[in-house]
């Protein structure tokens, strides 16, 4: 019995060490992924990059095809260094796609301030939600299915608003999206802590998408409510 008890302690300690290593590597890779994102956004602003600006539905289809292609390839190669390279390539692409919103925001006289506010707000949300997920004894795994339903609603509403261009709907979508992706950080970080996610590349991809979407929607919301044209 004593030997079995000691083995269980060793196994538990090993499991805990693996989870902490995955979490640590995830945070490091997440920080690294911001570099190509920023570079991609800068390059996109400099080149005035845009996918089919006159045909938003075609732009959406192309964007989704490329993004899901990247995500599929990352998941297929997540056990190798190629997975890291593809993830960084994906974050560069996402930076390019962010450049149109950045350019639009810089058109405001207080655009740079809005971008810094959105960045600070996003970083604060990440720190708070990750800290809650790490320290709370509450199980957030039940959020998964509800968050997915909410995500589907946001996607449908966003696609519809591409054609209808209703400002009030845009504001509502952005506000709800910030709440949903903030909750997704709770869910995704706790998946690592509880051993539900053991690959740091997959974990980084998920949390990166959470952070990216919070930033995009927060910046969009700030532009609509606080952008100064003067």
- Dump pLDDT digits (tens) for 65-90: 999 999 999 999 999 999 999 999 99
Over residues 180-203, the mean pLDDT reads: 92
- Asked if 227 contacts 105 with a C-beta cutoff of 8 angstroms, the reply is yes
pTM of the model: 0.89
Residue 13 pLDDT exceeds 70: no
Residue 118 pLDDT exceeds 80: yes
CB neighbours (10 Å) of residue 4? 8
Give the whole-angstrom CA distance, residue 66 versus residue 86: 12
Res 10: pLDDT: 42
Backbone Cα Rg of the chain: 19
Over residues 197-202, the mean pLDDT reads: 92
């Amino acid at each position: 019995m004593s030997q079995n008890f000691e083995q269980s302690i060793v196994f538990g300690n090993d499991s805990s060490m693996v989870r902490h290593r995955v979490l640590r590597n995830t945070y490091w890779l997440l920080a690294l992924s911001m570099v190509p994102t920023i570079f991609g956004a800068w390059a996109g602003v400099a080149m005035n990059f845009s996918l089919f600006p006159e045909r938003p539905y075609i732009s959406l289809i192309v964007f989704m095809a490329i993004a899901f292609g990247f995500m599929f390839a990352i998941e297929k190669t997540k056990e190798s260094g190629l997975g890291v390279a593809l993830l960084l390539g994906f974050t560069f692409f996402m930076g390019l796609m962010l450049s149109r919103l950045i350019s639009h925001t810089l058109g405001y006289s207080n655009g740079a301030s809005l971008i810094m506010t959105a960045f600070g707000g996003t970083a604060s949300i990440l720190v708070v939600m990750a800290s809650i997920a790490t320290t709370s004894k509450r199980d957030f795994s039940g959020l998964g299915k509800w968050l997915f339903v909410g995500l589907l609603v946001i996607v449908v509403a966003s696609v519809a608003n591409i054609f209808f261009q209703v400002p009030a709907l845009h504001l509502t979508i952005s506000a709800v999206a910030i709440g949903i992706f903030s909750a997704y950080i709770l869910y995704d970080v706790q998946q690592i802590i509880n051993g539900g996610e053991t690959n740091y590349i997959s974990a980084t991809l998920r949390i990166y998408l959470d952070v990216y979407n919070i930033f995009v929607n927060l910046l969009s919301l700030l532009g609509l409510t606080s952008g100064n044209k003067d």
